[in-house]
């Protein structure tokens, strides 16, 4: 049996919002350490990986590992019924065919319980190698979201180049060209406004804006995004979730920019 | 001649908003006591009944009873031109073919007068029997709106069951099932947050969510909704309008839940 | 070479928003005094004229007059990438084929530079005669916007009649008729709430609401709009831009109201 209670139930809403446009079906994998989701998008171009460790829950019990296969759109519909202040509890039997979701309003006047039908989904756990990256950029997630949204008016690809000076996002197309430079700013007053760059060598990679834009659906999960890049390997776009979780997106760079 | 002046002109806007998706054409029936509207929705499934008694107006004069047949969409278009703070005056001659609507801004800098063309509409005043109901639930109108909206993701029908403990709204469908329990809470600090249940015996009835959702367009008219239910008779969904009026919706229960 | 720097870069966004639904392509004409735009709408019914004098810029340099032909929709897309607090700099070479736009965030953490491809557009500078108008009405731009929006529910034309008492906007159609009277009010506390009428003789003219509605896209540029009217000549709908600029729309009255 699996049971997990999260006071900040909003986080589950936001996680599903952050993956449901990318992924149609996925498994929630529950162990006694954490719940995690790992899935490729429907065109097998990008990968999303979510982890919430048991320490982030008020109550967490998982007797033996289980995989709960769900349809992301349906899960999203049900989680939309949870208020932003609601406490959310997830429950599943070991052989159950449904995931129970209980939403309690803070003053307990209102209790909603839902059952989401589960499905069998082939589990294609991908071993993600633990890479050392040449460049790591931490920046405000809202700033990243805005840049990706802005550059979409110009073209389909975005080149991200990281130097000591800052990180530059570029796009071009019929309308013209655009470059947005975000300068290193490790001394900003607020932690979430800091722009911090760690780099061994400059990196420049080009990505499909369409996918980067999907990733920014996770912006509401936290004030910060971390981009990790090395030549010729997928970028990792990570949104930390509090102290005990994350959502990471992986996207391979475009090999030949001339293609599009 | 008929003339009625309402300082809170916004109420008329809200009433028309609350019926115009349900009813295409209707009569405003004016007597020296009140103005009222009674109409069935276009598929003759539900009934809406509005009453504003003369005491709610700043000025009210109705020399002899008249019926003003109007198109609800057109009336809505004109009332959208009234500001939320405007004083609204309605005027009609006994044999007139138009309803005059005058909107005055609070500081009188702006006066708008409109004429809405009237039409002859067959008057099918339905005698609504004054029933005693087995259960009456008073709850926050915004809470009721939210529950109806939420349950629509699950199915087309909603079962409302009322017990001493509280009132439970349930729906189910392909995605899964959902139950929202609202507990009796007669001691809430604010009058509009109270949930009060009066019952002689438990009642459980099933309704089309589509119509319940239409009714919640009246939510802006007040903080409270009152549901009155007895076995095998239409539910009454009532939104009180201040001290001197109401909008009531009647909807027959589904006989056989298996139908849908 | 041309270079102009505007601390309140938002003004450029708003100007392009105010013309892009009306005008597809136009020239920015730069001289050492000002930048200006003059263009007819695509159906050659109305004319828009923009002027920003050099005094309104923080830095302004124009070595010799040049015309920069641009696509308004594309310019709009790029200017949407400027934040509302950004400083905007425009740059063009004398023979250049692109307009450079640089957006700097107030704290300089973020610099975006865009290049918009330019095009050759036939320059049809229309000499606008400096007319004396029989009536001039200054009123809140938001009030004008609301009236035009409201009257569109009634018909396609709006009659504006100006008397000493006030200015009246009228429309009629299948739904009914409507008149909005805005009274002279030169003593309002706030400058932007004043309604001031200067007139030699009463004027009554009828215009296509569709175009008046296009003009109200300029509402965000300032709190005030000025309508100048004389019999049988185009109305001027002017939005002053701070102390040093304006956007003016010209629209010929309908000759025969029966036409529509």
Predicted ipTM > 0.85? yes
Kindly tell me the burial class for residue B110, based on how many C-beta atoms sit within 10 Å of its own C-beta (0-12, 13-18, 19 or more): buried
Sheet with C46-53, strands from edge to edge, namely C66-71, C25-30, C34-40, C46-53, C245-251, C235-241, C224-229, C135-140, C196-199
Within 8 A of A72 by CB-CB distance, chain B residues are none
Can you tell me the distance from the alpha carbon of A181 to that of C114, in angstroms, rounded to the nearest whole number? 11
What pLDDT was estimated at residue B128?
78
Same domain membership, residue C78 and residue C107: yes
Same domain membership, residue C182 and residue C103: no
| Average predicted confidence (pLDDT) for chain A | 93
Helix (H, G, I), strand (E, B) or coil at B128: coil
The DSSP secondary-structure symbol of B256 reads -
Q: How many CB atoms lie within 10 A of CB C151?
A: 27
Same domain membership, residue A177 and residue A81: no
What pLDDT was estimated at residue B259?
45
Same domain membership, residue C195 and residue C88: no
Q: How many CB atoms lie within 10 A of CB B130?
A: 5
Residue A127 lies in a domain: no
Residue B87 parent element (H or E): strand B87-92
Picking from B81, B110, B117, the nearest residue to C178 by CB comes out as B81
Q: What would the 3-class secondary structure string for B141-165 be?
A: HHHHHHHHHHHCCCCCEEEEEECCC
Can you tell me the distance from the alpha carbon of C164 to that of C179, in angstroms, rounded to the nearest whole number? 17
Residue C126 lies in a domain: no
Same domain membership, residue A56 and residue A152: no
Q: What is the token pair recorded at A91? A: 């429950």
The DSSP secondary-structure symbol of B189 reads S
Residue A124 lies in a domain: no
Does A119 contact chain B (CB < 8 Å)?
no
∠ CA A71-A77-A78, nearest 5°, is 95
Higher local confidence (pLDDT), A128 or B64: B64
Torsion angles phi and psi, residue A219, rounded to 5 = -55, -35
Q: Are B65 and B31 in contact (CB under 8 A)?
A: yes
Residue C124 lies in a domain: no
- Directed axis angle between helix C72-79 and helix C10-19, to 10°? 150
Q: What is the mean pLDDT of residues C71-90?
A: 96
Helix (H, G, I), strand (E, B) or coil at B98: strand
Question: Which are the contacts of C146, defined by CB distance < 8 A and separation ≥ 6?
Answer: none
Residue B130 lies in a domain: no
Helix (H, G, I), strand (E, B) or coil at B202: coil
Kindly tell me the burial class for residue C150, based on how many C-beta atoms sit within 10 Å of its own C-beta (0-12, 13-18, 19 or more): buried
Does C192 contact chain B (CB < 8 Å)?
no
Does B180 contact A116 at a Cβ distance shorter than 8 Å?
no
Q: Which of C133, C119, C127, C130 is nearest to C73 (CA)?
A: C119
Burial profile C34-49: b = 16 or more Cβ within 10 angstroms, e = fewer: bbbbbbbbeeeebbbb
Same domain membership, residue A217 and residue A148: yes
Does B231 contact chain A (CB < 8 Å)?
no
Mutating which of A138, A145, A150 best tests the C interface, going by the most C Cβ atoms within 10 A? A150
What is the nearest CA distance from B153 to chain A, expressed in angstroms?
6
Can you tell me the distance from the alpha carbon of C60 to that of A120, in angstroms, rounded to the nearest whole number? 66
Q: Are C199 and C167 in contact (CB under 8 A)?
A: no
Q: Are C22 and C221 in contact (CB under 8 A)?
A: no
Q: How many CB atoms lie within 10 A of CB A30?
A: 24
Q: How many CB atoms lie within 10 A of CB A122?
A: 7
What pLDDT was estimated at residue B256?
65
Can you tell me the distance from the alpha carbon of B211 to that of B250, in angstroms, rounded to the nearest whole number? 10
What pLDDT was estimated at residue C260?
42
CA B71 vs CA B78, B207, C215: distances in Å: 11, 28, 31
| Average predicted confidence (pLDDT) for chain C | 93
Same domain membership, residue B204 and residue B89: no
Residue B25 parent element (H or E): strand B25-30
Pick from C117, C145, C162: which residue ends a domain? C117
Helix (H, G, I), strand (E, B) or coil at B18: helix
Can you tell me the distance from the alpha carbon of A225 to that of A137, in angstroms, rounded to the nearest whole number? 8
Question: Which are the contacts of C113, defined by CB distance < 8 A and separation ≥ 6?
Answer: A178, A179, C100, C101, C102, C103
What pLDDT was estimated at residue B260?
42
Q: How many CB atoms lie within 10 A of CB A83?
A: 18
pLDDT band at C256 (very low <50, low <70, confident <90, very high): low
Extract the runs of DSSP E, i.e. beta strands, from chain C: 2-6, 25-30, 34-40, 46-53, 59-62, 66-71, 87-92, 98-104, 110-117, 135-140, 157-162, 166-172, 176-183, 196-199, 203-208, 224-229, 235-241, 245-251
What pLDDT was estimated at residue C244?
87
What pLDDT was estimated at residue C188?
81
Within 8 A of A182 by CB-CB distance, chain C residues are 109-110
| Average predicted confidence (pLDDT) for chain B | 93
Rounded to whole angstroms, the maximal C-alpha distance in chain C is 59
Kindly tell me the burial class for residue A67, based on how many C-beta atoms sit within 10 Å of its own C-beta (0-12, 13-18, 19 or more): middle
∠ CA A69-A72-A75, nearest 5°, is 90
Can you tell me the distance from the alpha carbon of C88 to that of C103, in angstroms, rounded to the nearest whole number? 5
Residue A23 lies in a domain: yes
Q: Are B14 and B84 in contact (CB under 8 A)?
A: no
Residue B67 parent element (H or E): strand B66-71
Q: What is the mean pLDDT of residues A150-176?
A: 95
Mutating which of C143, C177, C181 best tests the B interface, going by the most B Cβ atoms within 10 A? C177
Question: Which are the contacts of B58, defined by CB distance < 8 A and separation ≥ 6?
Answer: B5, B6, B7, B87
Same domain membership, residue B141 and residue B252: yes
Same domain membership, residue C79 and residue C12: yes
Burial profile B18-46: b = 16 or more Cβ within 10 angstroms, e = fewer: bbbebbebbbbbbeeebbbbbbbbeeeeb
Extract the runs of DSSP E, i.e. beta strands, from C129-254: 135-140, 157-162, 166-172, 176-183, 196-199, 203-208, 224-229, 235-241, 245-251
Can you tell me the distance from the alpha carbon of C137 to that of C160, in angstroms, rounded to the nearest whole number? 11
Q: How many CB atoms lie within 10 A of CB A10?
A: 18
Q: What is the mean pLDDT of residues C17-30?
A: 95
Q: What is the token pair recorded at C249? A: 């729309």
Same domain membership, residue C248 and residue C147: yes
Q: What is the mean pLDDT of residues A175-199?
A: 90
The DSSP secondary-structure symbol of B83 reads -
C229 - beta bridge partners?
C135
**CATH number for the domain harbouring residue B241:** 3.70.10.10
Pick from B117, B145, B170: which residue ends a domain? B117
What is the nearest CA distance from B259 to chain A, expressed in angstroms?
22
- Give me the numbers of helices (H) and strands (E) for chain C, helices first please: 4, 18
Higher local confidence (pLDDT), A130 or B105: B105
Residue C130 lies in a domain: no
Does B179 contact A77 at a Cβ distance shorter than 8 Å?
no
What pLDDT was estimated at residue C193?
87
What pLDDT was estimated at residue A170?
97
What is the nearest CA distance from B223 to chain A, expressed in angstroms?
17
Same domain membership, residue B99 and residue B158: no
Pick from C57, C84, C117: which residue ends a domain? C117
Does B112 contact C181 at a Cβ distance shorter than 8 Å?
yes
* pLDDT one digit per residue (tens) for chain B, 260 residues: 999 999 999 999 999 999 999 999 999 999 999 999 999 998 888 999 999 999 999 999 999 999 999 999 999 999 999 999 999 999 999 888 999 999 999 888 899 999 999 999 987 677 777 789 999 999 999 999 999 999 999 999 999 999 988 999 999 999 999 999 999 888 888 888 899 999 999 999 999 999 999 999 999 999 999 999 999 999 999 999 998 899 999 999 998 645 44
Does B114 contact chain C (CB < 8 Å)?
yes
Q: Which of B137, B94, B124, B141 is nearest to B239 (CA)?
A: B141
Q: Are A58 and A78 in contact (CB under 8 A)?
A: no
Can you give the residue range of the structural domain that contains C66? 2-117
Chain B window 38-97: which residues touch C at a Cβ cutoff of 8 Å? 71, 74, 77-78, 80-81
* pTM for this model (two decimals): 0.91
What is the nearest CA distance from C46 to chain A, expressed in angstroms?
27
Same domain membership, residue B255 and residue B139: yes
What pLDDT was estimated at residue A258?
52
Higher local confidence (pLDDT), A95 or C52: C52
Q: Please state the domain count of chain B.
A: 2
Does B148 contact chain C (CB < 8 Å)?
no
- Give me the numbers of helices (H) and strands (E) for chain B, helices first please: 4, 18
Report CA dihedral (C16, C21, C26, C32) to the nearest 10 degrees: -30
Residue A252 lies in a domain: yes
Q: What would the 3-class secondary structure string for chain A be?
A: CEEEEECCCHHHHHHHHHHCCCCCEEEEEECCCEEEEEEECCCCCEEEEEEEEHHHCCEEEECCCEEEEEEHHHHHHHHCCCCCCCEEEEEECCCCCEEEEEEECCCCCEEEEEEEECECCCCCCCCCCCCCCCEEEEEEHHHHHHHHHHHCCCCCEEEEEECCCEEEEEEECCCEEEEEEEECECCCCCHHHCEEEEECCCEEEEEEHHHHHHHHHHHHHCCEEEEEECCCCCEEEEEEECCCEEEEEEECCCCCHHHC
Can you tell me the distance from the alpha carbon of C249 to that of C218, in angstroms, rounded to the nearest whole number? 10
């Amino acid at each position: 049996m699996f049971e997990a209670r999260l006071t900040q139930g909003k986080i589950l809403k936001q996680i599903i919002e952050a993956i449901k446009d990318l992924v149609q079906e996925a498994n929630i994998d529950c162990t006694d350490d954490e719940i995690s989701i790992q899935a490729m998008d429907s065109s097998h171009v990008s990968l999303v990986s979510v982890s919430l460790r048991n320490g982030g829950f008020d109550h967490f019990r998982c007797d033996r590992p289980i995989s709960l296969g769900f349809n992301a759109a349906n899960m999203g519909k049900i989680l939309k019924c949870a208020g932003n202040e609601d406490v959310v509890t997830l429950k599943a039997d070991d052989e159950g065919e449904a995931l129970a979701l209980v939403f309690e309003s803070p003053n307990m006047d209102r209790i909603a319980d839902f059952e989401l039908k589960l499905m069998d989904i082939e589990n294609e756990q991908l071993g993600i190698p633990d890479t050392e990256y040449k460049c790591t950029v931490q920046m405000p997630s809202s700033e990243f979201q805005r840049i990706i949204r802005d550059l979409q008016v110009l073209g389909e690809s975005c080149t991200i180049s990281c130097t000591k000076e800052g990180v530059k996002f570029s796009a071009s197309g019929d309308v013209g060209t655009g470059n947005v430079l975000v300068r290193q700013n490790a001394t900003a007053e607020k932690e979430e406004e800091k722009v911090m760059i760690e780099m061994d060598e400059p990196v420049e990679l080009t990505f499909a804006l369409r996918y980067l834009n999907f990733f920014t659906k996770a912006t509401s999960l936290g004030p910060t995004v971390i981009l990790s890049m090395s030549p010729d390997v997928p970028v990792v776009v990570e949104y930390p979730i509090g102290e005990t979780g994350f959502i990471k997106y992986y996207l391979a760079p475009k090999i030949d920019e001339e293609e599009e």
